[in-house]
């Protein structure tokens, strides 16, 4: 079987690599000539564990190729996946111009039956627009070529996308015909032999499932962050509360870790788009509006703690940051809390020194030369007045606190991901501030600590 994937970004590359890994011939298409040239040289534009090796391996075996020529790519393809971006408009709605451009290209170049599958995250009703765009181009050509459309939303976690694709919790497919269902069953058979389910449904329900899933996860994050803020006020410990509620099987432990807000390419955009979709139908999603409001304010909680520590004056202060990506195991900084925190630190007159294991190059696109970048986490601490942890990279979980103590001007750590224990921080002499825990009684004066 041969398939075409249009859009060689995060979703397109992971999808193409994983399908080729099980023996399917895959052609990935993108209009970015520089990106395609680099991919053909083995240069991958994103960081995702395992992806580069998988792409290189399947290119060498001739199962995976990259091109800018969609007309050539669709020849002999039974299935075409649309995996292009759907950036939010100013009003929060998803911009479908790239999706519909691909649909029109399908109509212009298809020669035989084709199943056109939307993999991009799109609003409810998009597949109807895709179908119409294809049909309009076929009419212009005065040809009658049968085709189907389908929706196959992705549920990939950045940093674990390869495993998510090869061993999915579920595969959701929305379609309209038995022929399309048979094709999708055949395509996904290698991934379902171990019992991973394919859930077939109508297209509208499939489109809604993607938005509803991400919005539900975002809701859990904002809920626990809101509760964390209340815990800090009343003197409760959110880490203990989280364990208490997470042990309830109806709630579970996933996505109830307090922090400085969610980010990335999915949750912020999808929450906004679903709110907008509801508005288009004269319905107000009050819960999701609150979710978004809580998340926006949560991104500034750590900045406020830092500012208060220095009595409201950050002019001339140097703040060391560990972590810039929105989560570990990715260089993605879209909607990352670090963007808001750095912006506010700079506006307050502070100097910023930053380290991230993989996101430094991406950070330079956002911050330019307004902050200093380092290749070693401890170098950021030299002459810094405090340390703030923005991303829970594994290498930050067991640092050398003795070195941290000697390098910082003040023994202050602001932990935006709650990766340290407040009692341990007290024992070794740090002033420690985290999320959802009243740490006012854990502060020891630096001169009294054994590491001073």
- Beta partners for 388? 321, 414
What is 383-402 written as a DSSP string?
A: T-SEEEE-S--GGGSS--HH
- Give the Cα separation of 16 and 51 in Å (integer): 10
Q: How far is CA 263 from the centre of its chain?
A: 7
Is 351 strand, coil or helix? strand
Residues in Cβ contact with 396 at an 8 Å cutoff, skipping those fewer than 6 apart: 322, 323, 377, 389, 419
Is 322 strand, coil or helix? strand
Q: Contact, 419 vs 389, CB < 8 A?
A: yes
Residues in Cβ contact with 302 at an 8 Å cutoff, skipping those fewer than 6 apart: 260, 337, 341, 388, 390, 414, 416, 435
Tally the residues of the chain.
Answer: 452
Is 439 strand, coil or helix? coil
| 23 CB neighbour count, 10 Å cutoff | 11
- Give the Cα separation of 60 and 64 in Å (integer): 8
Is the sign of the CA dihedral 167, 168, 170, 171 positive or negative?
negative
| 266 is known as an active-site residue | yes
Q: Contact, 308 vs 439, CB < 8 A?
A: no
Q: What is the chain's alpha carbon radius of gyration, rounded to the nearest angstrom?
A: 24
**Element at 409 (helix H, strand E):** none
Angle between helices 126-141 and 97-109 (to 10 degrees): 30
Q: Contact, 114 vs 179, CB < 8 A?
A: no
The one catalytic residue among 28, 266, 386, 434: 266
> What residues are annotated to the active site?
266
């Amino acid at each position: 079987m041969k398939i075409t994937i249009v859009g060689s970004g995060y979703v397109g590359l992971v999808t193409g690599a994983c399908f080729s890994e099980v023996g399917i011939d895959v052609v990935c298409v993108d209009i970015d000539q520089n990106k395609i040239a680099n991919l053909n040289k083995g240069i991958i534009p994103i960081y995702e564990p395992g992806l580069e090796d998988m792409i290189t391996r399947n290119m060498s075996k001739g199962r995976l190729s990259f091109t800018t020529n969609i007309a050539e790519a669709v020849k002999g393809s039974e299935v075409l996946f649309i995996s292009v971006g759907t950036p939010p408009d100013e009003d929060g709605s998803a911009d479908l111009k790239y999706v519909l451009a691909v649909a029109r290209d399908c109509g212009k170049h298809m020669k035989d039956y084709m199943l056109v599958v939307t993999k991009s995250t799109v609003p409810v009703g998009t597949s109807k627009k895709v179908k119409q765009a294809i049909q309009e181009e076929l009419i212009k050509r005065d040809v009658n070529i049968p085709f189907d459309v389908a929706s196959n939303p992705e549920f990939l976690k950045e940093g674990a996308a390869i495993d998510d694709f090869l061993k999915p919790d579920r595969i959701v497919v929305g379609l309209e015909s038995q022929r399309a269902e048979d094709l999708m069953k055949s395509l996904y058979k290698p991934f379902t032999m171990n019992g991973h389910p394919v859930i077939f449904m109508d297209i509208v329900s499939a489109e809604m499932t993607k938005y509803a899933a991400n919005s539900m996860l975002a809701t859990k994050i904002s809920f626990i962050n809101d509760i964390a803020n209340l815990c800090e006020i009343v003197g409760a410990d959110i880490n203990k509360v989280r364990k208490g509620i997470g042990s309830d099987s109806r709630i579970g432990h996933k996505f109830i870790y307090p922090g400085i807000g969610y980010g990335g390419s999915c949750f912020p955009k999808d929450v906004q788009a679903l709110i907008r979709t509801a508005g288009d139908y004269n319905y107000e999603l009050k819960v999701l509006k609150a979710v978004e409001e809580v998340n926006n304010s949560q991104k500034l909680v750590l900045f406020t703690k830092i500012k208060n520590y220095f009595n409201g004056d950050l002019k001339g202060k140097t703040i060391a940051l560990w972590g810039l990506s929105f989560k570990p195991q990715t260089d993605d900084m879209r909607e990352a809390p670090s963007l808001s925190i750095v912006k506010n630190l700079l506006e307050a007159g502070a100097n910023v020194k930053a380290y991230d294991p993989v996101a430094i190059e991406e950070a330079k696109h956002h911050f330019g030369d307004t902050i200093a970048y380092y290749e070693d986490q401890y170098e950021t601490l030299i002459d810094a007045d405090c340390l703030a942890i923005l991303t829970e990279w594994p290498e930050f979980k067991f640092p050398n606190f003795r070195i941290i103590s000697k390098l910082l001007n003040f023994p202050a750590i602001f932990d935006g991901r709650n990766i340290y224990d407040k009692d341990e921080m007290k024992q070794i002499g740090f002033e420690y501030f985290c999320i959802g825990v009243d740490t006012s009684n854990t502060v020891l004066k630096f001169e009294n600590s054994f590491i001073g």
